Homo-oligomer: A and B are copies of this chain.
């Protein structure tokens, strides 16, 4: 099979998910990860629809992308204005992306009831909008919205809309199952019919309303589509989009299509979990290929069989997608990546040292309890140095108390704290906008006289994620703090059933990391 273009729309269609709301910073972080993974095209947003997306494209220009081309998304021009005056098309151009994805109507029902224009006028809108962008040097992907529904209702008209895009010069025709109602057999048949008519490369954009998004995408590829659109973890409105994570694994491992190098495929699990984290969504433990239980074996018979020969109950080797079998006791690849990490921190650790084995076990235990060091390298460095006895704490805690009181609709939060630095003791108190802020204010106030450099740093991000959400308010929470000073930015983490304890761990790490970093610089 020939090459396939992996096209990600997490930042546009995925951002429509109920509950997801990306900051520009979130979008930039996800873009970098997708580029590192090797996705070919990243749809960053709809610059004509909201100022946040326009800002994303401005800032994205500063990124150095190695594998990915950015795409801006928007609609064909309005019937009332010329292409040159259409604000949406102008915003697409202003995004300065190599790729522009333009969606238009393929379904007569939509042309009549939503666009409220004539079928002929719609064809003109498509052709002219595509041509206008082509003349300005863009690669144009034409997203044929509701293509499969349109083809079912009026195949001739649906094909004419594609012809209009081709006449405008479209580089790819992406067939969209916008409402997610098609069956694989229908996708196969329709794609073949289109394939016979046009030599322009085809794409597939599927939604999961019928639990068939992955299958519809696979069917389209088997029928000749060369571009596969999807979102990380299948995020998207209603029931979500086709899950690009599943599709990458299927294309590569089931269909033998070399869409990503083997080494990149191993990052699939990490990328899936990273995007969940940034999206503030729980990572689905049962998610195919990359879920925590995707290769978990329970019950003596299965476990025994798997120990004898993993193929007995595993459809593929979990390591291929960077996941792991859950009954594994130790993992060599884990140890070597730990050694690799330690080397980066100039710590003395080799694969053979007993310390490496012990540290790996500790890390696995902590990750099992909900720590997530990929997003908290500051805490990881402190952990390794503490364990290797290469760290002397800058202070110790005598204790703290926080009182939150609600009376007459007013809520107050006050923290008192006692810390020891060398032989001195400092006791102080502070108020704040909530318990964590009060504690943050109090610890800084207490330490500032010993470490004036703390005034240079500040917290830039504070994320709370509830693990094991079923335990509701008694659930463990993971707090991630991002801090920065004039030179660096670092992440720290805390995990506990108590949000105050988790925040405290992350706060302490963020302060100690700053002090350690300054100390190393002076040395």
Contact = CB atoms under 8 A, between A and B. Distances in A.
Interface of A: 16-19, 21, 23, 25, 109-110, 113-114, 178-181, 183-185, 208-212, 214-216, 218-219, 222, 234, 237-240, 243, 246, 249-250, 254-255, 280-282, 285-289, 291, 293-299, 301-302, 304-305, 308-309, 311-316, 328, 372, 374-375, 397, 399-408, 411, 413, 432-437, 439-440, 458-466, 469-470, 472-475, 477, 480-482, 496-501, 503-504, 507
A56 to B, nearest CB: 16
21 contacts: A18-B285, A19-B480, A21-B372, A23-B469, A109-B311, A113-B309, A181-B316, A210-B249, A211-B246, A211-B288, A211-B289, A214-B215, A237-B293, A237-B298, A280-B465, A399-B405, A432-B473, A434-B496, A437-B497, A462-B466, A464-B465
A498 B214 CA distance: 40
B280 A470 contact: yes
Contact of A473 (B280, B315, B462): B462
Contacts of A461: 466, 469-470, 472
B314 A179 contact: yes
A387 B472 CA distance: 29
Q: Which 7 pairs across A and B sit closest by C-beta, in order of nearness?
A: A181-B315, A215-B215, A459-B472, A434-B498, A433-B497, A211-B246, A211-B214
A347 to B, nearest CB: 23
Contact of A499 (B214, B254, B285, B435): B435
Given A280-B463, A461-B469, A434 B183 contact: no
A346 B348 CA distance: 70
B19 A375 contact: yes
Contacts of A209: 288-289, 294, 315
Contacts of A498: 404, 411, 413, 433-435
Contact of A183 (B208, B216, B250): B250
A402 to B, nearest CB: 4
A238 to B, nearest CB: 6
Contacts of A374: 18
A404 B477 CA distance: 16
A25 to B, nearest CB: 8
Contacts of A459: 472-473
Contacts of A315: 179-181, 209-210
Nearest to A25: B469
A435 B296 contact: no
Given A218-B183, A405-B401, A474-B433, A308 B240 contact: no
A254 B183 contact: yes
Given A109-B312, A432-B474, A401 B403 contact: yes
B250 A210 contact: yes
A71 B504 CA distance: 43
Given A461-B472, A464-B466, A500 B401 contact: no
Contacts of A23: 469
A311 B222 CA distance: 29
Contacts of A21: 372, 465
B238 A113 contact: no
Nearest to A245: B211
Contacts of A17: 286
A328 B18 contact: yes
Contact of A312 (B113, B281, B328): B113
Contact of A464 (B184, B219, B308, B477): B477
Contacts of A293: 18, 237-239
A458 to B, nearest CB: 7
Nearest to A417: B406
A413 B501 CA distance: 11
A110 to B, nearest CB: 6
A239 B184 contact: no
Nearest to A182: B315
Contacts of A400: 405-406
A184 to B, nearest CB: 6
A462 B458 contact: no
Contact of A436 (B113, B246, B308, B473): B473
Nearest to A314: B179
